[in-house]
Amino acid sequence: MLPLSGLYCLAAYLRYRRSVPLYYGIPVVSVGNLSVGGSGKTPLVIELARHFSKPAIVLRGYGRKSRGMVVVKDRDILCDIAASGDEAMLYATSLPHAVVIVSEIRERAIAEAKAIGCDIVLLDDGYGKHTIDKLDLIIDVQTPNPF
């Protein structure tokens, strides 16, 4: 396994070095984590979004039954939870002033947020997206006993 892990690290490093982060004309803050699931990203994104007048929340929509881009704005929830994903529905119902965009291609979703007129993009689980010029200062790390 050790030789394979070395090859994987080399491939990941080369991919990272080849990527050029693009600026989309709108600030992007990425909330990510170093552990898998359940580490509190969603409540953190909700709290951050409350501090902006017109935030966009961009997420991949893990577990949804549809493909392509789904946009929720101005409280118009035009799809069900199967099409958007449960996390997107939680954002849409918790933050009526926010625009929620679900897309596998997050770069396209960021461009859509700018076109809509959002003032910031909060990128849910975008820590590993090296093609987006973003602020990665917020890393939510899961701990065995946080309290």
pTM above 0.85, yes or no: no
- Cα distance between residue 126 and residue 138, in whole Å: 11
Task: Give the chain's radius of gyration (CA, Å).
Answer: 16
Per-residue pLDDT tens over the stretch 2-35: 777 878 877 777 776 777 777 888 999 988 776 6
- Cα distance between residue 127 and residue 138, in whole Å: 9
Per-residue pLDDT tens over the stretch 93-132: 899 999 999 988 888 999 999 999 999 999 987 767 777 7
